Structure 1
Amino acid sequence: MTDRVLILGGRGRIGNSVAADIANHTQAQITITGRSPETGNSVNLPLANRVDFLVLDLAEIDKLTQAIANSNLVIHCAGPFHHRDANVLKICIEQGINYIDVSDHRSYTIKALKYHEQAVQAGVTAIINTGIFPGISNSMVRQCVEQFDQPEKIHLSYLVSGSGGAGVTVMRTTFLGLQYPFTAWIDSKWQKILPYTQRQIIDFPSPYGSSGVYWFDMPETYTIPQTFPSVKTVVTKFGSIPDFYNHLTWITAHIFPKWLMQRHYMIEFLSHVSYFMTDFTNNFSGIGVAVRSAVTGKKNGQTFIYCSTLVHENTALASGCGAGSIAQLLLEGKLKKLGVSPVEAALPTNLFIPAMESRGMKISQSITQIDDQE
């Protein structure tokens, strides 16, 4: 029988990329959803005869439940996830349907993880935070951590050119992430961090080179310390290309009045202005992404830094590869992890690497020994 995949929010840039990846790598029949009938007219995916469109609002519980029940796999791409409840996940568990999402905020991750035991009892595999970052980045961390007897510090750095090929929703995600302080696992304790602080220059692969990144609240800031409890510090930093976007974002985070940044209309205004600006600068900067995972730890009594890097020319397409590869593995029966799990806890490296290679995603590694006497 043909597998049936339901992609909620499939007409967004990320959802569309996920659908394209699944169409390219599986034989599944795909249904993508949108709130407006007009969005269905713009469906333009590989093998379009295997892609259907369904008008659906997540508030339509009965219709949502029926759509989920008629599927083998549900992929939740309807962001932003900052204020989303976990109702889609809850219905999937009740219906016994496997679940993936591209969620990218700690608040949603915490809500989803609370359903772990229910998912186990229902025999459901639910993998959250898939995509590029979080997602592929988490698996790069796992690959690095496995090189050590005792991993101690994880430093994740992300760099996006222009809009990254994504839509206004991703802009909203960025500005929503600037509203409040968050906690990070530093020196074996949770410490308060202000978003977009502590600029750091990181050497990324070509064509990016040395670029500035800043503290940013990501789900992996929360999940990685739990997945790898021996790690003492987890750092997650983000930056933009061109660099003047970093300075504008810093001003937004630290100069604009907090009460103003917490207003919906201000988030919408900033998101649309930013999208308009990047739509122009994309012509010069491109829409690519760079991910760098650096893990410091001990192997055979010596201290090393194991560094893993990935560059892709289109951030949205890279996100599609992250979620799509996990969907493929679930549909093929190669991946099964009952409960609700972040990517780094669910996807073994021996499945991750071939999945990336089959999509032309080249991950480079380097290892450097550190003199403990320095």
Structure 2
Amino acid sequence: MTDRVLILGGRGRIGSNVMQDLIAHTQVQITITGRHRTSETAFSPQVQFLTLDLADRDGLRDAIASHNLVIHCAGPFLYRDASVLETCIEMGVNYLDVSDNRAFIHKAFPYHEAAAAAGVTAIINTGVFPGISNSMVRQAVEQLDQPETIHLSYGVAGSGGAGVTVMRTTFLGLTEPFEAWINNQWRQVKPYSDRETVHFPQPYGKVGVYWFDIPETVTLVNSFPVKTVITKFGSIPDIYNHLTWITAHLFPADWLRKPENIEYLSQLSYRMTQFSDRISGIGIAIRAQVTGYQAGKPVTVISTLVHENTAAAAGACTGSIAQFILAGQLSKPGIWSVEQALTTELFEQAMQRRNIQIYSQTTPLT
């Protein structure tokens, strides 16, 4: 029987890259959804289009019922509830998403027991960050006897090839302070604060990065016995960092919280990146540094990744996890973050098959 995959938001930048990965690596039948059909949309023989608004609960239920895996790519996830996940659990259909928001994961995790009882494997945050980044941390943690500090840094060139939705997510992340796990306690951190310079592999080199609220800030604390988790993000070119810092620190908070102002900033930024992308590219650099003890001695494990297309990297991770679930290689009923569900062995297989290289180095600390 042919596997059938439903990609909600499959016409967006991330969703379309997930679709392309599945076409390249599987023979599944794919249904992508959008609120409106456009005449210029062209599909491969593996793909069909379904007009669907997620607010149409009956239509959503019917769509899920005819598939055996749902991949939720319709963000921004701050505005999403867990209705898609809940429906998948009710109907016994496995679930993935590319969520990237702390509020959403707090909506999803309470369904863990229900998913486990229904035999539904549901994995959230499966893109690139979160997603590949989580697995890079797990890979590093497993090299240590006692991990203590996780320090994740991201540099994204221009738009990252991910469209205006990611711009909305970035500006929404500037509206409120958030809690970070520092020295075994939760402390409030202001977004886009505490700049530091990180050395990424070429072609990026030195990049300024700042505190940013992403799901790894929470899930890695639950997954590994560490004292501190630091998550920092920066843009390339650096001018965007300075503009974002001004937005986060000098704009009135009440003004920034208004949806219409978030939309204005998002559209303006996206138009700017349409020009700068030609110079900066749309790639991503990830640096995962895990410090701890190995054979009783302090060491640090640093893993790095560079990819020329941020959205394509996200699609590769989500697509690979979907492939493992469909092939029966990954079955873990319940609600899980990537690092809790995907073994390092499977992660390394996925990256190798997709020609994504991760470099790792372990260095003694003195």
What's the TM-score, normalizing by structure 1?
Answer: 0.97
Query: Matched residues in 2 for 1:214 and 1:287: separation?
Result: 19
Q: Which amino acid aligns with 1:134?
A: P
| Superposed displacement of residue 367, structure 1 | 1.2
Deviations 1:79-99 (A, max 9, x none): 000121000000000000000
Tell me the residue number matched to 1:18.
18
CA deviations 1:239-281 (Å, max 9, x no partner) are 0000000000000001000010000110110000000000000
Q: 2:128 aligns with which of 106, 126, 132?
A: 132
Distance 1:131 1:26 in 2: 18
1:87 alignment counterpart: 83
Runs of 4+ in 1 over 3 A off after TM superposition: 41-45
1:141 & 1:160 partners in 2: Cα distance? 19
Gaps of 5+ in 1: none
Query: Counterparts in 2 of 1:1-374, with a 5 A limit?
Result: 1-38=1-38, 41-44=39-42, 48-228=44-224, 230-371=225-366
Separation of aligned partners in 1, 2:129 and 2:6: 22
| Count of aligned pairs between the two proteins | 366
Sequence identity, in percent?
Answer: 61
Give me the whole-angstrom Cα distance separating, in 2, the residues matched to 1:16 and 1:295: 33
Which runs of 5 or more residues in structure 2 are unaligned?
none
Residue type of the alignment partner of 1:232: K
Instruction: Give the Cα separation in 2 of the matches to 1:278 and 1:85.
Output: 30
Q: Give 1:210 deviation, angstroms.
A: 1.0
How far apart are 1:25 and its partner, in Å?
A: 0.6
The Cα shift of 1:43 comes to 3.4
Letter in 1 for 2:93: I
User: Which amino acid is 2:327 matched to?
Assistant: E
Once the two structures are superposed, residues 175-229 of structure 1 have per-residue CA deviations (whole angstroms, 9 ceiling, x without a partner) of 000000000000000000000000010010011111100000000101100011x
Q: Aligned partners of 2:343, 2:355: CA distance in 1, in Å?
A: 19
Quick one: distance in 2 between partners of 1:235 and 1:278? 27
Paired with 1:314 and 1:69, the residues of 2 have a C-alpha distance of 33
- Secondary structure of the residue aligned to 1:334 is coil
CA RMSD, 1 decimal? 0.7
Could you tell me which amino acid in structure 2 is paired with residue 266 of structure 1? N
Measured after TM superposition, the shift of residue 44 of structure 1 is: 4.2
- After superposition, what is the alpha-carbon deviation per residue over 1:108-156, rounded to whole angstroms, capped at 9, x for unaligned? 0111011000000000000000000000000000000000110000000
